């Protein structure tokens, strides 16, 4: 394990009696609002609350800052707050702990808020892949690069071997940085972001090969690996992979003149049919710049899409999901108002629950990789 977590019971400020998380979860969402606001006010500047764009409205409205993983990581690296309550998922809280200052403590309101993509790259699998590449004499000119959506151990692996971390916001710049230092990139763990970024940099599709961690030698021949420029780990986002090329065709048929923007975690075929591709922050900017009355279909998590639809309705902008059924990030959704109230009221009583603490040796190299990410524009 790369982290230490701690889960304690809380003392209810209202009754003074012991109150477990289960007692909070039995209460309706709306009953948490005043308790969260009161706890937030009592904690003041000692506590920074960060909220990822994919969080549910009932939680993100209490955030001091909202953003994508890159923006929130940068904020986490700059704050002097003693406590960082991260309403996101596990790898984000880990990164905040890695980038934080001595004495700071990071809290994830629900430890079950993980990331299926991050789970698709286990450190033992990545180390086995590197050993295979080393056996073939390919590691000397290969730069490991991992997406932010990865465990701290994977980030440390890349940092120790001359690589770095990237987000969807700076993936292209990170690829350019890596190619200035090696012949090929081992990109973890999202094959779609890697493929879309490589293609945008005019790297031929045949020079990008998929490494399957469950197959012998990644499912590739030695010659194919040696000739490659990008080794794409066989991983994906369960939300963004659901979007299909037919979804783009359907919205264009239904809404003539519609603009389509998708996240680069979507399949290459979907991105090629879209009008634009970008990170969550870039998607927001795209909608902001769109003329009044525009109709825009967005291929990303449904909470962000719905939030944008409400925000820009007054300007006559019609914002819809690329998929009529919507795509919910179920792990991000795990953080509820009840979890947030429980974590904050514990802090008020002087107890830190669900602390995310990355092991020191992992933290050292993960910080190297993350610092490089923050330097790449």
The string of pLDDT tens digits covering residues 204-247 is: 999 999 999 999 999 999 999 999 999 999 999 888 999 999 99
- Tens digits of per-residue pLDDT, 136-155? 999 999 999 999 999 999 99
Helix (H) or strand (E) holding 184: strand 184-188
Q: pLDDT at position 328, please?
A: 67
Helix (H, G, I), strand (E, B) or coil at 208: strand
- Please determine, for residue 330, whether its predicted confidence score (pLDDT) is greater than 70: no
Backbone angles phi, psi at 207, to 5 degrees: -90, 0
Q: pLDDT at position 6, please?
A: 39
CA distance linking residue 258 with residue 255, whole number of Å: 6
Q: pLDDT at position 19, please?
A: 60
Q: Which of 47-56, 87-96, 289-298 has maximum average pLDDT?
A: 289-298
Backbone angles phi, psi at 11, to 5 degrees: -100, 120
Q: What is the mean pLDDT of the chain?
A: 90
| Higher-scoring residue by pLDDT: 112, 224 | 224
> 98-104: which pairs have CB atoms within 8 A and are 24 or more residues apart?
98/152, 98/155, 98/358, 98/363, 98/366, 98/367, 98/370, 99/73, 99/367, 99/370, 99/371, 100/76, 104/79
- With a CB cutoff of 8 Å and minimum separation 6, the contacts of 302 are 321, 326, 327, 328
Q: pLDDT at position 101, please?
A: 87
Give burial (CB, 10 Å; 0-12/13-18/19+) of 230.
buried
Closest CA to 357 of 1, 3, 2: 3
HEC-encoded secondary structure of 75-105? HHHHCCCCEEEEECCHHHHHHHHHHCCCCCE
| Higher-scoring residue by pLDDT: 335, 198 | 198
Domains of the chain in start order, with CATH, are: 3-112+332-364 (3.40.50.10800), 118-237 (3.40.50), 240-321 (3.40.50.10800)
Give the Å distances, CA to CA, from 368 to 38, 242, 249, 373. 38, 34, 43, 9
Q: pLDDT at position 344, please?
A: 96
Helix (H, G, I), strand (E, B) or coil at 165: strand
Mean pLDDT of 99-109: 91
Mean pLDDT of 80-96: 92
Q: Are 148 and 81 in contact (CB under 8 A)?
A: no
pLDDT band (50, 70, 90) for residue 9: very low
Helix (H) or strand (E) holding 23: helix 21-25
Q: Which two tokens stand for residue 242?
A: 């659901």
Q: Is the peptide bond before 189 cis (omega within 30 degrees of 0)?
A: yes
CA distance linking residue 116 with residue 119, whole number of Å: 5
- Please determine, for residue 8, whether its predicted confidence score (pLDDT) is greater than 70: no
Q: pLDDT at position 369, please?
A: 95
Pairing outcome for strands 318-321 and 83-87:
unpaired
Closest CA to 179 of 203, 154, 153, 157: 203
Task: Return the minimum-mean-pLDDT range out of 98-112, 117-131, 319-333.
Answer: 319-333
pLDDT band (50, 70, 90) for residue 332: low
Q: pLDDT at position 13, please?
A: 42
Backbone angles phi, psi at 188, to 5 degrees: -120, 155
Unique residue bearing structure tokens 């690829």: 175
| Higher-scoring residue by pLDDT: 252, 103 | 252
Q: Which two tokens stand for residue 1?
A: 């394990």
Q: pLDDT at position 16, please?
A: 40
């Amino acid at each position: 394990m790369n982290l230490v977590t701690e889960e304690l019971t809380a003392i209810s400020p209202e009754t003074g009696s012991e109150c477990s998380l289960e007692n909070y979860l039995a209460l309706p969402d709306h009953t948490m609002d005043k308790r969260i606001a009161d706890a937030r006010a009592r904690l003041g500047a000692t506590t920074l609350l960060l909220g990822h764009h994919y969080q549910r409205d009932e939680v993100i409205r209490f955030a001091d800052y909202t953003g994508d993983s890159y923006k929130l990581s940068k904020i986490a690296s700059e704050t002097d707050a003693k406590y960082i309550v991260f309403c996101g998922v596990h790898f984000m809280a880990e990164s905040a702990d890695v980038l934080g200052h001595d004495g700071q403590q990071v809290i994830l309101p629900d430890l079950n808020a993980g990331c299926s993509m991050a789970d698709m790259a286990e450190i033992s699998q990545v180390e086995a892949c590197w050993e295979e590449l080393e056996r073939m004499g390919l590691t000397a000119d290969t730069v490991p690069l991992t997406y932010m959506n990865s465990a701290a151990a994977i980030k440390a692996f890349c940092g120790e071997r001359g690589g770095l971390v990237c987000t969807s916001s700076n993936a292209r710049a990170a690829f350019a940085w890596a190619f200035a230092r090696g012949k090929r990139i081992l990109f973890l763990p999202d094959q779609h972001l890697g493929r879309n970024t490589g293609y945008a940099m005019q790297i031929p599709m045949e020079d990008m090969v998929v490494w399957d961690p469950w197959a012998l030698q990644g499912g590739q021949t030695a010659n194919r690996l040696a000739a490659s420029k990008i080794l794409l780990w066989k991983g994906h986002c369960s939300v963004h992979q659901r979007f299909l090329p037919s979804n783009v065709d359907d919205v264009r048929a239904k809404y003539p003149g519609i603009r389509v923007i998708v996240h680069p975690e979507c399949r290459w075929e979907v991105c090629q049919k879209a009008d634009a591709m970008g990170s969550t922050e870039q998607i927001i900017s795209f909608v902001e710049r769109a003329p009044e009355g525009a109709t825009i279909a967005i291929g990303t998590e449904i909470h962000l899409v719905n939030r944008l639809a409400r925000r820009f309705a007054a300007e006559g902008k019609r914002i819809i999901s690329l998929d009529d059924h919507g795509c919910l990030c179920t792990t991000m959704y795990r953080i509820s108002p009840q979890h947030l109230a429980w974590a904050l009221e514990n802090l008020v009583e002087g107890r830190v629950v669900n602390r995310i603490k990355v092991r020191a040796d992992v933290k050292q190299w993960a910080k190297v990789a993350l610092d490089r990410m923050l330097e790449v524009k």
